[in-house]
Structures are given as C-alpha cells and as structure tokens.
Homo-oligomer: A and B are copies of this chain.
Amino acid sequence: MASNVKEAAKYTDLTPAAPLSKADLNKMTWRSLQLQSAFNYERMQAAGWLWGILPGLEKIHTNKEDLAISMSHNMDFFNTHPYLVTFVMGIVLSLEQQKADIATIRSVRVAAMGPLGGIGDALFWYTFMPIVAGITATMAIDGSLVGPILYFVIAFGVQMVLRFWLMSWSYKLGSNAIGILTKNAKEFTRSASILGVFIIGAMVVTFGGTTTRIWIPNGDNPINLQGQLDTIFPKMLPFAITMLCYWLIKKKNFTPVKVILVLLVIGIVGAIFGVWAGDYTPLVDWYTVPAA
C-alpha cells in the first residue's frame, strides 16, 4: 500500500461522510493546542496538525486505505499561527468530509495557512501580547499576584474563544461552499493547485532566510558575495536550495531524511568555512570581513 498512498489523487471511497458533530469539532479544537508539539524545521507543525485533526479523519475515512491517504497528505509541510489554526482545520475537515480531491485539499490548506501565519503574528505576537504584558507587568513588579493571573487569563482566554469560534465558523463555511465546487471538481482542483503553488513560491521568499557572509578577497575592496547574488535576484540561495531539495527528492529519489542529512552537512561544513551568515567564528579563516 505504502508507496502509492502518497501519490493518490482521489480517495477510493468518494461518498461524502456524515457531518462531524459539535463534540468532534470541540475535541479537535482542544487538540489544536498541541499543534507545535512535534515542531521541527522540516515540516514545522505537520505532525501536530495531523494529530489535531486525527479524530475527525478517523470518523470520515472508515476505510483504512483512505485514512492512510488522508494522513499522508496531512503530513505535508505545515505552518500557521497557532491561535488561528482551527480556521484551517475547519475548512480542511469540510473538504475531507466531502471527499474532495487530494490536490484540492492540499492547495486550500497551503493557501490558508500562509496568510494566516503572517496575520496572526502581526495581530497576536506583536500587538496583543505586548499590550497584555504592558498592562499587567507593573502589577507584578509591585508584588501583586493579580498581575500574572490576569496575564494568563486574558491571553489564554482570548485564544481559546478564538479557537472555538474559528473552528465552527470555518467548518460551516467550508461545508456550504463545497456543494457549488464539486460540480466542477476537476477545474476547481486545478485552480486550487494554482493558488497553492503560487503561495509555495511566495513562501520560499518569506520563509527563506539563508544568506552567505563571504567576502571575496580582492585587495582593498573585498566583494560581498551576498550583495552580488542579490543583484542576480534576491532570495537566490533559498531558491537554489529549494530547487536542490526538489531535484534530490524528485529525480534522485532521496528520502526526506537523506536530504536533511545532506543539508546538515552543508550547514556545518559551510560554517566551518564561514559560508553562512550568523554570529559565529568559522574554524577556517580564509577571508576577512571589512570593518563596517
């Protein structure tokens, strides 16, 4: 089974499952709190995401093969803002329930998680939390226990309300929209994929931070390699490394683990020679960084 499960385009059983109950949704909302429990740099929140929606998936895909298919594609790279994740959950679950094409679910998931990540960071990490901290910190400093308690109640309370509300709202939203779309399922899959792929291209830019710090020795005017790369096009290294990974996986049939090892080696060997940007002293010192 295993190998073709990953490439499946459709579920084998295409009859829509029974709608998920309020209780199911609530359970998954609670589980959403562990979105980042297995966070890592390859897939980020993927495993936590899958674990979060598993109860739903198990209800929907009674057939074991379909469950495998669904679990597999839900192990794709995933990253969004934790407070807003239930919005993505609801909409994906509604698609799963209707047995939409795998490509469609994939694309909708990608298209939703990206923008929500950015919005959430701006809204919560950079606005909401500092405000809560600002209000309560002085209480704590003045020795009052109310400070930390208020801090916890507000911060945790707001996110929970949000999580529950987003889950039920987006599940409903997805369920309503789906009817119209299945009539033109094939066309919808294609356009959803377009959106997804477009957003992946964007993620290479927004998530890609890899840069080099090499100064090519050149008499009195050493040349900043990153600067030169940027004149070709910015984010060239992230682009190149993504292409490398893609090529290894697609053409050379590398497993992801093997690619990870390759990158680990590239990372550390690079650091030995001071290739990658960062605040460290390379082992081998073959160029000097000009005083700023």
Please give the residue numbers on chain A whose beta carbons come within 8 Å of chain B beta carbons, in ascending order.
119, 122-123, 126-127, 130-131, 134-135, 137-138, 216-219, 221, 223, 228, 231-232
Contacts and interface: CB of A to CB of B under 8 A. Distances in A.
A127 B226 CA distance: 11
A123 B131 CA distance: 47
21 contacts: A119-B232, A122-B228, A122-B231, A123-B228, A123-B232, A126-B228, A126-B231, A127-B216, A127-B223, A130-B218, A130-B221, A130-B223, A131-B216, A131-B218, A131-B223, A134-B218, A134-B219, A134-B221, A135-B218, A137-B219, A138-B219
A116 to B, nearest CB: 11
Contact of A232 (B122, B134, B216, B219): B122
Contacts of A228: 122-123, 126-127
Contacts of A219: 134, 137-138
Nearest to A138: B219
Contacts of A218: 130-131, 134-135
A219 B216 CA distance: 47
A134 B221 CA distance: 8
B127 A217 contact: no
Contacts of A126: 228, 231
Contacts of A123: 228, 232
A228 B124 CA distance: 10
Nearest to A217: B134
Nearest to A128: B228
Contacts of A221: 130, 134
A75 to B, nearest CB: 30
Nearest to A228: B127
Contacts of A127: 216, 223, 228
Contacts of A131: 216, 218, 223
Given A122-B231, A127-B216, A135-B218, 9 more contacts: A119-B232, A123-B232, A126-B228, A126-B231, A130-B218, A130-B221, A131-B216, A134-B219, A137-B219
Nearest to A134: B218
Nearest to A123: B232
A218 B217 CA distance: 48
A84 to B, nearest CB: 13
Contacts of A232: 119, 122-123
Contacts of A223: 127, 130-131
Contacts of A217: 134
A126 B119 CA distance: 39
